[in-house]
Structure 1
Amino acid sequence: MIVRLFAGIFSTLAAQALLASVVSGGLLVALTYQGKALETASRDRERLDGFVATVVEGARAGRHLDAFVNELDARDSRLRGRVSLISPGGQWIAGPTATGPARAERAVELNGHVIALARIIGPPILTDSERRYLSTLYIGIAAVVLGLFVGLLVAGYFFARRWSRPQIELFRISREVVHGDHDVTFDENVPAETLATMRNLRRIASQFSRLETARRTWLVSIADELKRPTENMGEHFIQLCAVQPALPAALLGAIEEDTHRLIHMAEDLSAVALADLGRLPVRFHPVDPRALIHNAVYAHRKRAEGQGVRLETSTLPGYTILVKWDGNRIEQLFGALIDNSLRYTPRSGRIVLGLESSRDAWRLIIDDSAPGIDVMLAQRLFEPFYRSSDRTDESAASGLGLATARAIVEAHHGRIEASNSPIGGLRVTVVLPANPPTA
């Protein structure tokens, strides 16, 4: 954008410089041509006056008029073939004939009577020296025009830099604000309107920074406060199962499901909040991704079977793999992804987990046969509390599962993507480096 802004201003000034140079050069050429034409016309009239005087003297001596034209052609190279003598009645006497208007005309009078009209016809004839003079003059004009254009071009470059600098500075500040750098500084030696806009941006950035800091602090505090009662609920549930007489199984099952949901919600909220602050703790140590996948399938198979959904694996390597990941976080990642798929996959549906090699990384793939998604909105699924209208859930999900997955993936210096699955639903692809950087 910065280059386009400068280029736009400079190209406009360059076009104006070219127009000014061409117009100036054209005017100089036109004036030079007009001056030379006036000079030539004046010279031709003087020579024609001399010719008429010669004709009058010869006519007094009784000479024929046509002889004077031949003598003129022999002695005057400038008027050669350009002078005609015509009778007062319009009849040709001597010289070339022409139907166009005369460039100059003089009457030949003898004893008070007009005996002929002398006319100059045809364009003027330039000598070699005159042609060289005009060529030198035109080359000089071209050099002046070129120098003027280069000078205007250099001036336009500096003007473009000066005019684009405030806009470039404004663009830099707005980009820093968008990228989260709210401590903006700028040069105040800019036009008043631009300076006022920069100051407004700085105030907006300062206010947004305070709100963002407060939001992150509240989110972490809420996550911490939520974890304590959810842990207590798990202990209370164990005690509740030992009560005699035993409570109905359906009631215990509902309490257990809600307790697990609250525990997972607290864990997800804590992970998202810490990742938002850049403080999500990860501890890298050698693990086998295949074992993590099998553990995830085993942990969620009972719930999947209860919903009539098949949870299976595909494209798993047949040998042991060692990578440096945080095993607990990766299990949390698988739990979030499987939980998201179970929430939307209908009965008789499928959820398939796969693992593929990708150079120095591994690609984890989870497909489900739930309703598909709009590809244009696929990446928004990883935003906290975002719910796709195509994958509506009536079970009051927290909306943090996929956001938690993204937080864990980013902590491992990987990437996560969503797309349509070949089995009809959502495909989530996670690419993690085998040895993420620890710093």
Structure 2
Amino acid sequence: MSKVFWSRLAPGITAKLFLAVLFTAVCVVVAMALAAQWSFNRGFLGYLNEQEAQRLEAARPRIIEAYKDHGSNWDFLRGERRRWFGLLRPLPAVDPQVDAYAAQPVHPSPPLSELTGALLRTTLLDADGNFVVGFSDTRGKGTRQPLVVDGKTVGYIVTAPFQSVTAAGDVRFERSQYQASWTMGAVSVLMAALVALWVTRMLLKPLRAMAKATRQLAAGDYSIRVHSQATRDEVGQLATDFNHMAQALERNEGMRRDFMADLSHELRTPLGVLHGELEAMEDGVRPLTRESIQSLQAEVSTLNKLVSDLYDLSLAEAGAMTFQHTPLDLVELLRAAAPAYEQRLADAGIAVDLHFNAKELVVQGDARRLKQLICNLLENALRYTDRGGVLVITVGQSADQAVMTFSDSAPGVESEHLARIFDRFYRVEGSRSRASGGAGLGLAICSRIIEAHEGEIDAQHSPLGGLLMTVRLPLRREEFLDTAISGGQGA
């Protein structure tokens, strides 16, 4: 119960993404505020202190000169803060520019250090470090600048750092800076929250649509599609991949249904014939003769072929079809398999033309499976070639491959079906249909056998008007080298 409760309280992806973006924005704002505060303390205040140091450096000659003029002692400044401030203040400007109307020198504005209260924070100490005049609470703060007369230190100037002063104006200025920084930060966080909300909605809108479509797809609605909005980002690619997956599932489901319908038809036909024949024999309508037994045997053979094809296809799909690869002659294998179909082809009115362009073609393969391949191709030509047609079979060599071709006459296969003719559960409608027999499993099994032998099989339009099946199998390396050497010697 507690797990269910906490799982309901767990934030969804919308809340997680929103909080992630907002947290990132808050961290950035806080970091910027702290950096601004550090920059103010280290940069601006440091700049003010540097200005004060330069101002006091300019005042040192005047202080030394006054020290000499008053008997080389500091008694003239003890308690005289006004005189001390007068020595620290800068001299009037000597700029030759003159006001054209008042005929008076143009006095500059007070220096920056004057505005920051440098006079109040400056202290004069004698040679022994005793207080003379100025800011009384030095307590070791600031840097001592020596006053040297004739090579002898007669006193020190000490200025307290600017950040140690807590005047009301300085505090107000500092507070106003901090307040402005944090106000800008708060506004930035609010804007970040609005942007994060907008971003999460925009990003998650297609994801919600795909989640809804996924539930419909899981429920069996394979026609569902997601609008990808033609975007090139990951979300758009995900929507495109989802549509491809849904399309493949819809196609496979349709092929599965067609296959089940075809399979049920193929099973019902021989079973119906067997049932009718056995009932006729049981009722005494049809006597038990050699012809009736042959009829029953033919239907049983049809059922056996169908079940065997289904079993082989299931093994191939599961990768469990067994193969025993041994060296074998493909020419000899075809010579042994073709005579079994001569009579059936002749009965169907199909002429057979065999062409052996090589005496032997040794390949590494499973003799039983390759014979099954040849029989399936012969069976395909037998079932889907009109009476009066022709079947041309050729065997030869191309480079390091053994090549077999099965070319039959009309009817043909439309181009849109050629690329999928080896697919499982796929049937070509039209003239090459189950009306002539067969469950449409033979070519799928042929494709799996060829893959296991590292060969190739493809279907093309036949120049005779039907289908051209081409099988390529790699020759044994020794056989290929012997052929190449003999060919070179002959040349």
Report the TM-score when normalising by structure 2.
0.39
Q: Which has the larger radius of gyration?
A: 2
Report the TM-score when normalising by structure 1.
0.43
